[in-house]
């Protein structure tokens, strides 16, 4: 192919952060091209189909998407680009913990029943106290919508209208920047509640409470423990979410290029000016090149010597979360109980810690909520170990080798065992069985060492931002905003797009989505 084309902004990668950024930039009137190496958009959140079963490749737990205005940055992006996202709502999920198996729900009160069953009235009192302590932090966490943020002096105007709502919480804002453990240690002594909170922190950030930002947990308390709360599942799974963002990008004039592998970022006169694809096509960027690739993968795309050595070394040494194991199954559902839940969390041993390899397993059966994901009478299942699979076990293995096949079976055993606690005869029901490994992540998602994302501990250093020392190069995604989940990467994309937009454009969007 080859040749050259020009646009205002090139976005590298169609992960959720990149799509949010690109769609919002297109809404602002920029000419945008998104380059995606894979044949499917969505990055770690893409969906794929096998024999009529539609699988989520990554995230499976969503909230704050089914109503507006919402504190969820992802919903704010969808509102800004004018895209609906039909969702099924639910409020119950299953737990298989060392203490026993039970179902719980989001909301303020039901967890107290769990504590009464497994712990004591003292534990219930501690949980009630924690809810009281978290209330002002939760209000502070949502007082300033991420949609108002930008990385220049224009923030004085876009943030200014929210200051009256933020000022009453100003005393709590500083504590939100530190780890949640500071708040937890002052309030919670019960070991079960501490384990529970560490588990939730790990699911939010890939780190336990002593590394997870208090702001992330406060946001969760604001969202999960408000009256009448429901969790959401997008119809069509994560693919439905990706489709909505792609629709928003394209209807505002943006372009998505699939199978468009970026070979390098082109730098001239100390400025990022273009990207070159593997087929030699040059896409010139008049305004900016924005990378949604991880920080480690982004640095590999840059010529030597274009970044200050101190900044480069610091970002190269960004600590990483471990990777995943995945088990994707298409099963015969005839005769299964009618009260299966969409989600189950399995913890094998609290003493090992929630970050220990293979100790925490998540199960998603989304066809319980959205039957369109599987043929009639079938279920689609996704089991995974979230960010706790060591890459070094797999490093250097040939994916076609017997050693690789054997290790896949060995490391998948814990996922089968977890699922059998929910569906004991699941192996005999399987029609499709797919096992994914850190090498699968590395290959299909272009993820450095198959990593879940950066493991940046709250309070230990300033979190990186979208800006880089190289003019014309900006970042978005999980290496640029606190947290590694969907709200964090959506907020990162929004922040980067807002920074390129004029203040008047930004204020206009804000007015339309935050009445």
pLDDT of residue 287: 98
Instruction: Please say if the pLDDT value at position 226 is more than 80.
Output: no
| Mean pLDDT of all residues in 128-143 | 89
Own/partner pairs, 350-356, CB within 8 angstroms, 24+ separation: 350/97, 350/98, 350/191, 350/195, 353/198, 353/208, 354/195, 354/198, 354/199, 354/201, 354/202, 354/208, 355/202, 355/206, 355/207, 355/208, 355/387, 355/388, 356/388
How many other CB atoms are found less than 10 A from the CB of residue 474?
26
Question: 77 vs 49, 82, 238, 509, 510, CA distance in Å?
Answer: 27, 8, 16, 10, 10
| Mean pLDDT of all residues in 121-147 | 91
For residue 107, what pLDDT band results from cuts at 50, 70 and 90? confident
Q: Is there a contact between 495 and 149 (Cβ–Cβ < 8 Å)?
A: yes
* Structural domains of the chain ordered from first start: 4-46+68-83+236-318+454-513 (3.50.50.60), 323-450 (no CATH)
Instruction: Please say if the pLDDT value at position 84 is more than 80.
Output: yes
For residue 143, what pLDDT band results from cuts at 50, 70 and 90? confident
Helices (H) and strands (E) in the chain, counts: 18, 19
Kindly give the pairing relationship between strand 255-257 and strand 32-35: parallel
pLDDT of residue 1: 59
- For 70, the token pair is 């919402």
* Structure-token match 């500071």, residue found: 182
Alpha carbons 68 and 77: distance in angstroms, whole number:
11
Kindly give the pairing relationship between strand 282-291 and strand 4-12: parallel
How many other CB atoms are found less than 10 A from the CB of residue 94?
20
Alpha carbons 269 and 278: distance in angstroms, whole number:
23
pLDDT tens for each residue of 446-474:
889 999 888 888 877 667 889 999 999 99
Least confidently predicted of 66-70, 175-179, 213-217: 175-179
pLDDT of residue 446: 86
Residue 335 has phi, psi (to 5 degrees) of 85, -5
Alpha carbons 428 and 422: distance in angstroms, whole number:
14
For residue 60, what pLDDT band results from cuts at 50, 70 and 90? confident
| Mean pLDDT of all residues in 129-138 | 91
pLDDT tens for each residue of 322-376:
999 999 999 999 999 999 999 999 999 999 999 999 999 999 999 999 999 999 9
**Total-model pTM:** 0.95
pLDDT tens for each residue of 259-304:
999 999 999 999 999 999 999 999 999 999 999 999 999 999 999 9
């Amino acid at each position: 192919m080859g040749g050259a084309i020009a646009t205002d902004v090139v976005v590298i990668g169609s992960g959720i952060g990149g799509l949010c950024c690109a769609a919002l930039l297109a809404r602002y009137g920029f000419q945008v091209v998104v380059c995606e190496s894979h044949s499917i958009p969505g990055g770690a959140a893409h969906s794929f189909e096998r024999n009529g079963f539609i699988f989520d490749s990554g995230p499976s737990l969503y909230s704050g998407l089914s109503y507006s205005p919402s504190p969820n940055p992802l919903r704010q992006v969808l509102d800004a680009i004018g895209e609906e996202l039909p969702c099924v709502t639910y409020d119950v999920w299953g737990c298989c913990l060392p203490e026993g198996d039970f179902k719980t729900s989001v909301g303020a009160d039901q967890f107290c029943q769990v504590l009464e069953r497994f712990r004591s009235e003292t534990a219930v009192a501690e949980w009630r106290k924690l809810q009281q302590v978290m209330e002002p932090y939760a209000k502070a966490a949502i007082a300033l919508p991420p949609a108002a943020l930008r990385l220049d002096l224009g923030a004085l105007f876009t943030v200014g209208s929210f200051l009256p709502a933020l000022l009453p919480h100003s005393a709590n804002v500083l504590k939100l920047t530190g780890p949640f453990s500071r708040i937890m240690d002052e309030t919670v002594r019960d070991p079960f509640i501490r384990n529970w909170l560490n588990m939730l922190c790990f699911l939010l950030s890939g780190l336990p409470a002593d590394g997870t930002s208090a702001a992330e947990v406060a946001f969760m308390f604001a969202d999960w423990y408000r009256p009448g709360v429901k969790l959401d599942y997008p119809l069509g799974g994560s693919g439905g979410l990706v489709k909505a963002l792609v629709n928003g990008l394209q209807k505002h004039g943006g372009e998505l290029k699939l199978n468009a592998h970026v070979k390098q970022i082109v730098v001239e006169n100390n400025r990022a000016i273009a990207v070159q694809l593997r087929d030699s096509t040059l896409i010139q960027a008049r305004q900016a090149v924005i990378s949604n690739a991880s920080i480690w993968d982004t640095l590999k795309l840059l010529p030597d010597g274009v970044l200050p050595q101190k900044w480069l070394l610091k970002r190269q040494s960004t600590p990483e979360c471990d990777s995943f194991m995945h088990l994707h199954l298409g099963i015969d559902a005839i005769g299964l109980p009618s009260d299966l839940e969409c989600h189950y969390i399995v913890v094998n041993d609290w003493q090992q810690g929630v970050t220990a390899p293979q100790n925490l397993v998540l199960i998603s059966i989304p066809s319980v909520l959205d039957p369109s994901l599987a043929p009639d009478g079938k279920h689609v299942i996704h089991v995974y170990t979230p960010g706790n699979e060591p890459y070094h076990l797999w490093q250097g293995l040939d994916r076609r080798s017997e050693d690789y096949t054997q290790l896949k079976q060995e490391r998948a055993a814990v996922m089968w065992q977890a699922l059998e606690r929910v569906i004991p005869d699941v192996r005999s029901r399987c029609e499709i069985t797919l096992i994914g490994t850190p090498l699968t992540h590395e290959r299909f998602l272009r993820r450095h060492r198959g990593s879940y994302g950066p493991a940046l501990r709250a309070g230990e250093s300033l979190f990186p931002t979208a800006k880089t020392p190289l003019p014309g190069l900006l970042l978005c995604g999980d290496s640029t905003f606190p947290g590694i989940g969907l709200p964090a990467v959506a907020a990162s994309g929004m922040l980067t797009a807002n920074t390129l937009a004029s203040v008047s454009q930004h204020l206009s969007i804000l007015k339309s989505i935050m009445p």
